[in-house]
Structures are given as structure tokens and as C-alpha cells.
């Protein structure tokens, strides 16, 4: 990787249009050819489709397995936090997008004020929507210090976090910029660690991200699976990507940026929503603006790294809210994958083919695997119940399909169990018997994404996740201990015993 970003910024696309003309033509050609073959030669055509799906599973499961193995060799850089008394500490902008979260504002301010950083070098921007009168009134009532500034986001489409962040970036004065959500409780020295990481690296390091950890693991069976998946993501997927030099998709919070890198990577002003242009560091049409930004930074020649720090969050505990949140994530992954495959040759040259391929395999492969899973579950059930030769004939090499099903499911289940053991979540292990239900639930969310993308009114809809239902659970859980597994920071859990995965 170069020590500085490329001098000429590549053309950055948005998710405003779901498909480019070329993608639309390609889909129509493939779709027409597939339907024609299914009508003319149904069994051979179906066999080809099944074979293509199996090839996809080989690539997707193979990538996940490779990341898991690579993560075991990942060691986070040993960087000591900069001293708070360092006279050369840079100014820092904290962006906090809020929407209908008046109940969170008081505890959030307490968390931000608890950061170990000179107060005179902090700029805290509260990004409040124009139609959110309750949160705006709460902000006024708190009589916040001078370093806090309220930025009112115009009530214009598309609504959502990326548009608010773009408005905030236009007013950011810090050398570095970090994003926190309403429920975030970052380690007190996180900003000092981020500054140290930037100082130890070249100008091509545009972003460092902290690890996210849920404090309310035991609220419901939903939170237990969220908690396990976050452990896997931040201790297996992201470290594995970092170890292999691939592109780690950013999470929506606790990302620390060089502010000038965000501005150099920004979208053209004329593609932003009129009346709320700001600076287009984030795609306002993409509902996972964080994952997309990782690709944009990589295409620009920048790197992303991890820091040994933790931000505690609150996982949603209700199925309905979880379904809407996962639909947003999966929809954004599809949007991102479609954007970065519009000009495959050009984008692959910008990112490097291996990085481009693996990035898009994660972005597109995650929702696609969830869409395919129920179909193969159905074929498996039919075959077990009927021993149908028709089903068997669809698999050119039946043993490959059987091995993929067994190996893939065992890998993902093994990771869930390993997360519970590594992080002391022993009470959640028995809930892993519900794993098939959880997988079915996530596939249900994936099919909901197709319905949302098919309708222009919901294509860019931001499914807001309410917070604050488990604030009480964070108290008494902030004892810091040494991390396990990959050493990715300190986590609020009991003493760890055992290691798996």
C-alpha cells in the first residue's frame, strides 16, 4: 500500500439509482436466458442454477473460513495512548446524529464529557432533525457547555444518518472526526488511542475503528444472538480482513477519521440532496453509509485499521425492531455491492482485484446467502422425506452439496459457541439451540429487503432503531478486564475462563 493517497480522486457513485443501465441490461439478458432455458430444458437448466449457487457457497463460506483462520494470527498494534497533557494534541470533532432520542441525551452527554481529552480541543456537534422537536427541546434544556453545538438537519428526503453526517462534516473544525450514536459508551481514552494510531502511521491511514460490544446480552434471545454476532464480527471478521490486507467494512459508530481524508473522498456536491448538501463524505442514498464509505476510502488509496478500544452499545431486544434493523443493514449491503460493481474493471483497478472481489463478496454475499438458504433448506427437507431422484439429479456432485451444508453450518455454529466461551457468555450457550430459528429470522429479513428495494418509496428508507430500553443494564458492567481471543480491547464481562475458536 502506498504511503499517501492517490492524487486524483476516482469517480464515486451513489446508491440513488438502484441499477446502472449496464447492470439493468445484464440482469435482463441473464434473466431472459435463464427463463428460456428453464422452459426449454428444465432439468439441465435447474442443475446449472444449483451448481452456480453451490459455487457461490464455496466462495462465500471459504472466505468466512479464511477470515476465521487469519484472525487467530492477528495481533493489534501495541500503541500506547497519547498523554492528555500532550501540548500538540489535535482538535477533535465529535459527530452525534440523533433522531427521537431525547431520553438518551442526558446519559450520552455524560459519556462524552467523560472522555479523557482536553475540553478546549473538542467540538461536539449534535445533529438533530428539523422535525424532532422533543430532542431539540431536551438539548436546549440541558444548558450544554460551549463546545456543544446543535446542527438542525432540514426535513428533506432522503432522511437518515448519512445526510445528517454530511451536514455535520460541513461544520467540522477538528483535525480528526469521530462518530458516536446515542447509546454509545466509549472507553474514556479512546480518542487518545486514536491520535496515537494516526501518529504512528502514514497519511494513507484515513480511519481507525474501535470494537463495539453490547452491554445487554441477556435481555432476550434476540440480544444474545446480536451479542454473539458482534463478537464474531469484531474478533474474527474484521481482524481477519485486516490480517489479509483486505477492506474492513466500517460499522456505523466509533470510527475515527482524518477529517481531510473524508473531504478528499467526498461525493460531488451536485449529487447531494438539494437544500442539505453539506459535504458528501457519506452517501445519503445508502442506508449502510458506513460500509460504503470503507469502499470509497479504499478506492481513493486510503487504509482502515483497528484500535484496541471498546465502545459499549445497547442491542435491540424485540423481534420487530430487530427485523427492521437487519433489513436496513442487508439493504445497504446490496446497495453498496451494486454500486461497486457498476464499473468493475475501473473499480477493481482502484482497489486491487483481490480486495475488490472480497469486499463485494461480503457486501453482496451476505444478503444473497440469506436469500438462498431457505431454498436449499426446502430441497433438503423434500429429499429427506421423499428420497426424490429429481432433487438428487439437481446436484451434479451430491457429496459437494452435503459437505457445504454440513461444513458451512458447523462453521457458523462453531463461531457462535466460540463467541460465548471466549467472552464469558456461558448463559447464552443454551440459547444457541435456537440457531435455526435465528437463521430463518434473518432470511425473513432478507426477503423483506427485496420488497423494499422494489418500491421507490422504501428503497432509501432508513429504518430507525429506537434505544434506551435497557439503559439500566449498563450499570455495574463497566469493569474492564483483559480481552481474549484476538486481544481486541477491554470488555465489560466477568473473568474469562476457556477459549474456543
pLDDT at residue 392 is higher than 90: no
Mean pLDDT of 356-381: 95
Residues pairing with 179 in the sheet? 95
Q: Residue with C-alpha cell 441525551?
A: 105
How far is 290 from 251, CA to CA, in rounded Å?
6
CA distances from 434 to 29, 226, 376 (A): 41, 13, 19
**What is the pairing mode between strands 303-313 and 205-214?**
parallel
Which residue segments constitute the domains of the chain, with CATH numbers given?
1-501 (3.90.550.10)
DSSP class per residue in 152-164: EEPS-SSPSHHHH
Q: Cα–Cα distance between 429 and 419 in angstroms, integer?
A: 9
Query: What integer pLDDT is reported at residue 474 of this predicted model?
Result: 54
Residues 352-372 have a mean pLDDT of: 97
- Least Cα distance to 222 among 313, 312, 314, 316 occurs for 316
In tens, the pLDDT along 324-343 reads 999 999 999 999 999 999 99
Question: Does residue 413 have a pLDDT over 60?
Answer: yes
Is residue 485's pLDDT more than 50?
Answer: no
Higher pLDDT, 3 or 57: 57
pLDDT score of 389: 86
| Mean pLDDT score, 408-420 | 91
Q: Dump the DSSP string for 456-478.
A: TTTTT--------TTGGGGTT--
Stretch 206-218: mean pLDDT: 93
b/e map 97-123, b = 16+ CB within 10 Å:
bbbbbbbbbeebbebbeebebeeeebb
- The angle subtended at Cα 464 by Cα 274 and Cα 115, nearest 5°, is 90
Tell me what the mean pLDDT of segment 91-112 comes to. 94
Average pLDDT, integer, range 263-286: 93
Going through 246-331 in order, the beta strands assigned E by DSSP cover 255-258, 303-313
Q: At residue 483, does pLDDT exceed 70?
A: no
Please check the confidence at residue 481 and state whether its pLDDT lies above 80.
no
Half-sphere CA count of 51, side-chain side, radius 13 A: 10
Q: What is the DSSP letter of 479?
A: -
Integer Cα distance of 87 and 82 in angstroms: 10
Task: Compute the distance between CA of residue 438 and CA of residue 417 in angstroms, rounded to an integer.
Answer: 14
Confidence category of residue 4, pLDDT binned at 50, 70, 90? low
The neighbouring-strand residues paired with 94 are 124, 178
Grid cell of 7 as nine digits: 492524487
Q: What is the rounded CA–CA span in Å between residue 87 and residue 446?
A: 50
What average pLDDT score do residues 457-476 get?
A: 73
Element (H, E) at 330: helix 319-339
Task: Reduce the DSSP state of residue 94 to 3 states and report it.
Answer: strand
First-to-last alpha carbon distance for the chain, in angstroms, is: 30
Residue 376 has phi, psi (to 5 degrees) of -75, -30
Q: Are 207 and 250 in contact (CB under 8 A)?
A: yes
What number is the average pLDDT over the span 66-94?
93
Apex CA 387: angle with CA 382 and CA 388, to 5°?
75
Q: Residues 6 or more apart from 486 whose CB is under 8 A from it? A: 71, 72, 74, 75, 76, 235, 236, 239
The pLDDT-based confidence of 489 (bands split at 50, 70, 90) is: very low
- Within 8 A by CB and 6+ apart from 135, the residues are 98, 99, 100, 101, 102, 105, 128, 129
Q: What is the mean pLDDT of residues 209-236?
A: 94
Check whether 497 has a pLDDT greater than 50.
no
Q: What is the pLDDT of residue 494?
A: 35
pLDDT band for position 89 (cuts 50, 70, 90): very high
Q: How confident is the model at residue 367 (pLDDT cuts 50, 70, 90)?
A: very high
Cell numbers linked to 86: 500532550
In this structure, of 106-120, 354-368, 463-477, the range with the lowest mean pLDDT score is: 463-477
Mean pLDDT of all residues in 10-22: 91
Q: Is the pLDDT of residue 493 over 50?
A: no
Which grid cell is 217? Answer: 446480552
- Residue 268: is its pLDDT beyond 70? yes
How would you classify the pairing of strands 176-179 and 255-258? antiparallel
- What are the tens digits of pLDDT across the range 146-190? 999 999 999 999 999 999 999 999 999 999 999 999 999 999 999
Q: What is the mean pLDDT of the chain?
A: 89
Interatomic CA distance for residues 329 and 289, integer angstroms? 10
CA torsion angle for 394, 400, 405, 409 (degrees, to 10)?
-160
Average pLDDT over residues 460-470: 78
Neighbours of 482 (CB within 10 A): 10
Between 405 and 6, the more confident residue is 405
If one compares 296 and 77, the residue with the highest pLDDT of the two is 296
Lowest-confidence pick of 72-76, 425-429, 489-493: 489-493
Across 13-27, 66-80, 485-499, the highest mean pLDDT is recorded for: 13-27
CA dihedral 358→361→366→367, nearest 10 degrees, is 150
Exposure on the CB side of residue 165, measured as CA atoms within 13 A = 30
Q: With helix as H, strand as E and coil as C, how does 196-231 read?
A: HHHHCCCCCEEEEEEEEEECCHHHCHHHHHHHHHHH
Whether residue 409 is preceded by a cis peptide bond, meaning omega within 30 degrees of 0, is no
% of the chain exceeding 70 in pLDDT: 91
pLDDT digits (tens, 9 = 90+) for 39-53: 999 999 999 999 999
- Say yes or no to pLDDT of 104 above 50: yes
Amino acid at each position: 500500500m502506498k504511503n499517501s493517497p492517490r492524487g486524483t480522486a476516482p469517480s464515486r457513485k451513489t446508491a440513488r439509482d438502484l441499477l446502472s443501465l449496464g447492470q439493468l441490461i445484464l440482469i435482463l439478458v441473464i434473466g431472459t436466458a435463464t427463463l428460456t432455458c428453464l422452459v426449454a430444458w428444465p432439468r439441465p437448466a435447474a442443475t446449472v442454477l444449483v451448481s452456480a449457487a453451490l459455487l457461490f457457497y464455496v466462495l462465500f463460506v471459504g472466505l468466512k473460513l479464511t477470515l476465521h483462520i487469519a484472525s487467530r494470527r492477528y495481533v493489534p498494534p501495541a500503541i500506547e495512548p497519547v498523554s492528555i497533557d500532550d501540548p500538540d494534541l489535535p482538535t477533535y470533532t465529535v459527530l452525534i446524529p440523533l433522531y427521537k432520542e431525547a431520553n438518551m441525551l442526558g446519559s450520552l452527554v455524560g459519556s462524552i464529557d467523560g472522555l479523557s481529552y482536553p475540553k478546549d480541543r473538542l467540538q461536539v456537534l449534535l445533529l438533530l432533525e428539523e422535525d424532532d422537536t422533543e430532542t431539540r427541546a431536551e438539548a436546549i434544556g440541558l444548558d450544554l457547555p460551549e463546545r456543544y453545538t446543535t446542527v438542525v438537519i432540514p426535513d428533506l428526503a432522503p432522511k437518515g444518518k448519512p445526510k445528517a453526517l454530511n451536514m455535520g462534516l460541513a461544520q467540522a473544525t477538528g483535525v480528526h472526526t469521530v462518530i458516536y450514536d446515542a447509546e454509545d459508551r466509549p472507553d474514556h481514552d479512546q480518542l487518545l488511542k486514536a491520535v496515537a494510531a494516526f501518529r504512528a502511521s502514514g497519511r494513507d491511514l484515513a480511519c481507525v475503528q474501535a470494537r463495539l460490544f453490547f452491554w445487554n446480552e441477556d435481555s432476550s434471545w434476540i440480544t444474545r444472538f446480536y451479542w454473539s454476532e458482534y463478537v464474531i464480527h469484531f474478533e474474527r471478521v474484521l481482524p481477519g480482513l485486516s490480517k489479509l490486507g483486505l477492506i474492513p467494512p466500517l460499522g456505523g459508530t466509533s470510527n475515527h477519521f482524518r477529517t481531510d481524508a473524508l473531504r478528499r473522498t467526498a461525493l460531488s456536491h451536485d449529487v447531494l440532496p438539494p437544500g442539505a448538501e453539506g459535504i458528501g463524505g457519506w452517501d445519503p442514498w445508502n442506508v449502510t453509509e458506513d460500509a460504503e464509505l470503507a469502499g470509497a476510502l479504499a478506492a481513493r488509496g486510503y487504509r482502515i485499521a483497528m484500535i484496541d478500544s471498546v465502545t459499549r452499545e445497547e442491542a435491540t431486544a424485540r423481534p420487530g425492531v430487530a427485523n427492521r434493523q437487519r433489513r436496513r443493514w442487508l439493504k445497504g449491503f446490496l446497495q453498496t455491492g451494486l454500486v461497486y460493481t457498476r464499473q468493475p474493471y475501473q473499480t477493481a483497478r482502484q482497489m486491487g482485484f483481490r480486495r475488490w472481489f472480497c469486499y463485494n463478496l461480503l457486501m453482496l454475499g451476505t444478503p444473497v446467502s440469506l436469500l438462498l438458504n431457505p431454498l436449499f433448506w426446502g430441497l433438503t427437507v423434500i429429499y429427506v422425506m421423499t428420497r426424490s431422484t429429481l432433487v438428487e439429479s439437481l446436484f451434479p456432485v451430491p457429496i459437494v452439496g452435503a459437505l457445504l451444508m454440513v461444513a458451512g453450518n458447523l462453521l457458523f455454529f462453531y463461531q457462535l459457541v466460540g463467541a460465548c466461551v471466549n467472552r464469558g457468555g456461558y448463559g447464552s450457550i443454551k440459547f444457541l439451540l435456537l440457531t435455526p430459528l435465528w437463521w430463518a429470522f434473518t432470511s425473513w429479513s432478507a426477503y423483506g429487503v427485496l420488497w423494499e428495494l422494489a418500491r421507490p418509496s422504501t428503497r432509501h428508507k432508513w429504518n430507525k432503531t429506537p434505544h434506551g430500553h435497557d439503559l439500566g443494564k449498563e450499570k455495574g458492567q463497566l469493569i474492564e478486564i483483559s480481552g481474549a481471543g484476538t486481544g481486541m480491547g477491554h470488555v465489560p464481562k466477568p473473568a474469562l475462563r476457556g477459549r474456543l475458536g
